[in-house]
Amino acid sequence: MRQLAALVIGVSATHAQVGREVPPTLSAPDETGRIVSFGALRGQWVVLFFYPHDDTPGCTRQAKEFSRLHSEFQRLGAQVYGVSTQSSESHRAFKKKHNLTVPLLVDENGKLSDFFGVKRLMGLCSRDVVVINPQGMVALFRQGVSPDTSPKEILAWLKSNQNSGEAGK
């Protein structure tokens, strides 16, 4: 199993480099079926946390923590979305079961994970976080994040970079 993990980690992927523009036409449905367009999100920060699978222990902890911190992200002008390859029905059940407040985007066809360079193995996304600045540019791409610490780390990064003015450039 360790060899398989090393092989997956070693796979080269074109990922969204910091500074790369996110096309305004890029979009995905959320768990309700509403289409979320990245063009419509311009003017605010966007945090995408990619996770492997609905209702698994690590993914649940991560989604619950992003939900707990959701209002803090919103105070910073940031919209948070969870992203995985499960269906809208799976996402709705996951949200309801765990009282999640963050919207969940459906990436069944891999369009978002492909664009951002999030690796998939057997249909499951790796646990990565992408932050998009208000100008629609990738400001941060973190691969293989911890489900337990990534929500607080991303919030701290956003606070730090907003205060310094660096992330919005």
- Let me know if 125 is a catalytic residue: no
**Are 89 and 113 in contact, with CB atoms under 8 Å apart?**
no
Triad 93, 29, 27: Cα angle to 5°:
150
- Catalytic residue among 22, 41, 47, 59, which? 59
Question: How many angstroms separate the Cα of 120 from the Cα of each of 109, 114, 115?
Answer: 11, 9, 12
d(CA 53, CA 15): 21
What is the secondary structure of 111-133 as a DSSP string? HHHHHHT--EETTEE--EEEEE-
Active site residues: 59
